[in-house]
Structure 1
Amino acid sequence: MFSANDFIPETYSASIDQGSFTWSAPSNIALVKYWGKKEHQIPANPSISFTLNHCKTITKMGFYKKENNGNFSFDLLFEGKPKEDFKPKIEKFLERIELYLPFLKDYHFTIDTQNTFPHSSGIASSASGMAALAMNFMSLEKVLQSEMTDDYCYQKASFLARLGSGSACRSVKGSVVVWGNHNNTKGSSDLFGVEFPNTIHDNFRNYQNTILLVDKGEKQVSSTVGHDLMHNHPFAERRFAQAHDNLDKLSIILQNGNLDEFIKIVESEALTLHAMMMTSMPYFILMKPNTLEIINAIWKFRNETKIPVCFTLDAGANVHVLYPKNDCKKVLQFIKDELVGYCQNGHYICDEIGFGAQLIIDN
């Protein structure tokens, strides 16, 4: 088990003057939700997520050694164009991780990033973006420290990504990822995400996730503000205990393949997340009328057809429709026939379980 101090390097055994890497990292969707955090991006409760496959960020990071190493130095591009308004977030990220990557001020970086999903699609890109950037930095450190193991590299990347965006630590490695200390999950940690340690039932292989884009606008409430509202929330402690209990139950379900019980936990978790926001002070309703229409239509369809389709939600109005690969044809027809009309401009994205970050180019 790695601790934070294990990620502070003593010396580097090699050097490099310039180069570039390109990594992709996916978004993820939590099944047991993380809501509320402590100092240093530590989660108030454990969470578990499906890693997505197609919705990802692709980040190319070029670098060269500079003469003056007194400050961070970087250019930030989004889809090839300067992205000045995002630079303060990257600057803050670099400040947080400098202790663990002491070479950061030695180089000038050009960070060029793009998403495979539409920019205004309402899918949070902070998780995939920070995970992709963390993997690029770790590729550079692995050159400087050639004896580094792959296991250490991925764990440290998850650790670093968390310091940029909490859920980003779940986008580094694995199809099903647990983040947060949990007594019954071997190797789990508040510091980084870990692959689900047990064998996953065939029912969840290639599980499908169709994202219905109900509202593609800016978030009404930032994640930071939302998490902070849990500090004095009247139901916070019970919610944190519930998350531990639900992770226990879901861990068993993922192994035994019980789809009915999977649906109960996943939908309850989604509604609990929104209930916590509706009962905070100040309070928020992030669902839209069309979100509720979709949920009711899914319940009706499931009841009539007995097809094990369910929904989950992030902290917004969009709906993630989850279902087995075997039911893909029928569920997609249902989505086209009955749910697309509730989506903004009829937009939806088809995705499925993926495998985490991937190295695309190493120069």
Structure 2
Amino acid sequence: MIQKDFLPNQYSDLPAEGKVTWKAPSNIALVKYWGKRENQIPANPSISFTLDACATTTSVTFSKKENDSGFSFDLFLDGKPKADFKPKIQTFFERVSDYVPFITSYHFKIETSNSFPHSSGIASSASGMAALSLCLMDIERQLDATMEQGFFNKKASFLARLGSGSACRSIEGCLIQWGMHSDIPESSDLFGIKYPFKVDSVFKNFHDTILLVHKGAKQVSSSVGHNLMHDHPYAENRFRQAHQNLDKLKVVFTEGDLEGFIEIVESEALTLHAMMMTSNPYFILMKPDTLEIINKIWDFRKRTQVPICFTLDAGANVHVLYPEAVKEQAIQFIQNELVAHCENGHYICDRIGKGARKLVQNIQ
């Protein structure tokens, strides 16, 4: 599909008002996306596990305006006005207005909440923009009863990408690929797709325990970090590496190769942060406790042969990944040795999820 395929037909009979609510999960990339071109196009393809517990719930109440001039919305995070989020929503509306033109006809009350700390490297923008995009698509589906579910998901992913690149991977579960790759059928820079190849059962019940090393806002945003890849001395090799790792994962997923999975996923995590440390200006998002956790994971795996590994997002927190079969050993290790490195001992137990879902409104 191309961009013009997401342009709608002429609307008729816009509803006067309504409310929709969606819950969208975050995701954790296994092959990282770092660097983007104009219009939120990724510089390299990526693949991610869809999470379950880490999610954003967004309700959009809409009421028809007197005229169609401009965008009108109020934004609330956890029940409180969030003025500093409004510029990002304004930019998002500007980017998607051609594809959901009804948004100029309404005033929106956007109420959102996260099940995890905002701006701490758990991709709150991914789940947030995915939830908002699904709400907009739900409204559009009320205007087009013939819309098929497959198109609904693709367009929701397309819209979400225009808000936050990785958000396009938070619509469906459980393994989502985004970005053009010559050997992945139907892969696209415009939206995420369900991974189309065989995946061994060992990868279908993976757990992700997120160690909250630092719950505050990052000193460098992901958007700034992405832009620093434009003139990065190692950018082209990094982009090539991502393609190669996706090729390697095809065999890994098919054969249930946990050792190969660990090697690729940990290398990708460290490469992501290496790109940050070698950009201009350079920066470090890892904390001393991040490194302590990594070293303890390596030591534990070497001693026990338990297939537990880590990945990192654009932040200090550590995602500890492990299959269902070793859950008890992994949790015991995390509690005994790793939780001490978390801020206030806080961590989140998560696992692979099935994607976003609509929440039915309670009728009073």
Partner of residue 29, structure 2: 30
Q: Deviations over 1:149-201 (max 9, x none)?
A: 11111100000000000000000112000000011111110000001012321
Which ranges of structure 1 fall in alignment gaps of 5 or more residues? none
SS at 1:293 equivalent? helix
d(CA) in 2 for partners of 1:338, 1:152: 46
Query: 2:47 aligned with 1:48, yes or no?
Result: yes
Query: 2:338 aligned with 1:339, yes or no?
Result: yes
Query: 2:320 aligned with 1:321, yes or no?
Result: yes
Q: Which has the larger displacement, 231-240 or 115-124?
A: 115-124
Partner of residue 281, structure 2: 282
User: What letter corresponds to residue 113 of structure 1 in structure 2?
Assistant: T
Identity rate, percent = 62
Q: Deviations over 1:186-239 (max 9, x none)?
A: 111000000101232111122000001111121121111101111111111111
d(CA) in 2 for partners of 1:63, 1:341: 46
d(CA) in 2 for partners of 1:33, 1:120: 18
Query: 2:148 aligned with 1:145, yes or no?
Result: no
Deviation at 1:252, TM superposition (A): 2.0
User: What letter corresponds to residue 91 of structure 2 in structure 1?
Assistant: K
User: What letter corresponds to residue 48 of structure 1 in structure 2?
Assistant: I
**Structure 1 segment 129-140 matched on structure 2, within 5 A:** 129-140=128-139
Deviation at 1:14, TM superposition (A): 4.6
d(CA) in 2 for partners of 1:283, 1:118: 25
Partner of residue 125, structure 2: 126
Partner of residue 258, structure 1: 257
d(CA) in 1 for partners of 2:198, 2:20: 33
Partner of residue 241, structure 1: 240
d(CA) in 1 for partners of 2:32, 2:70: 37
Deviation at 1:289, TM superposition (A): 1.1
User: What letter corresponds to residue 222 of structure 2 in structure 1?
Assistant: S
Identify if the C-alpha distance between structure 1 residues 24 and 203 changes in structure 2 by more than 3 Å, giving closer, same or farther.
same
User: What letter corresponds to residue 183 of structure 1 in structure 2?
Assistant: S
Partner of residue 171, structure 2: 172
Q: Deviations over 1:232-290 (max 9, x none)?
A: 11111111000000011112211210000000000000011111111111111221111
d(CA) in 2 for partners of 1:258, 1:123: 26
d(CA) in 2 for partners of 1:207, 1:324: 4
d(CA) in 1 for partners of 2:225, 2:266: 20
**Structure 1 segment 1-363 matched on structure 2, within 5 A:** 2-12=1-11, 14-119=13-118, 122-361=121-360
Q: Deviations over 1:48-106 (max 9, x none)?
A: 00000000000011111111221211111111111111111111110110010111111
SS at 1:361 equivalent? coil
Contact 1:122–1:213 (8 Å) recurs in 2: no
d(CA) in 1 for partners of 2:13, 2:300: 60
User: What letter corresponds to residue 258 of structure 1 in structure 2?
Assistant: D
Contact 1:19–1:62 (8 Å) recurs in 2: yes
Deviation at 1:123, TM superposition (A): 2.3
d(CA) in 1 for partners of 2:161, 2:275: 23
Deviation at 1:349, TM superposition (A): 0.5
User: What letter corresponds to residue 263 of structure 1 in structure 2?
Assistant: I
SS at 1:189 equivalent? coil
d(CA) in 2 for partners of 1:236, 1:120: 25
Deviation at 1:47, TM superposition (A): 0.2
Q: Deviations over 1:26-64 (max 9, x none)?
A: 000000000000000000000000000000000011111
SS at 1:216 equivalent? coil
Deviation at 1:119, TM superposition (A): 4.1
SS at 2:360 equivalent? strand
Contact 1:14–1:145 (8 Å) recurs in 2: no
d(CA) in 2 for partners of 1:131, 1:282: 30
Contact 2:20–2:60 (8 Å) recurs in 1: yes
Q: Deviations over 1:283-330 (max 9, x none)?
A: 112211111110010001001111000000011111000000111111
Contact 1:209–1:321 (8 Å) recurs in 2: yes
Which ranges of structure 2 fall in alignment gaps of 5 or more residues? none
Deviation at 1:13, TM superposition (A): 5.1
Q: Which has the larger displacement, 22-31 or 221-230?
A: 221-230
User: What letter corresponds to residue 227 of structure 1 in structure 2?
Assistant: H
Contact 1:311–1:320 (8 Å) recurs in 2: yes
Contact 1:14–1:146 (8 Å) recurs in 2: no
Deviation at 1:124, TM superposition (A): 2.5
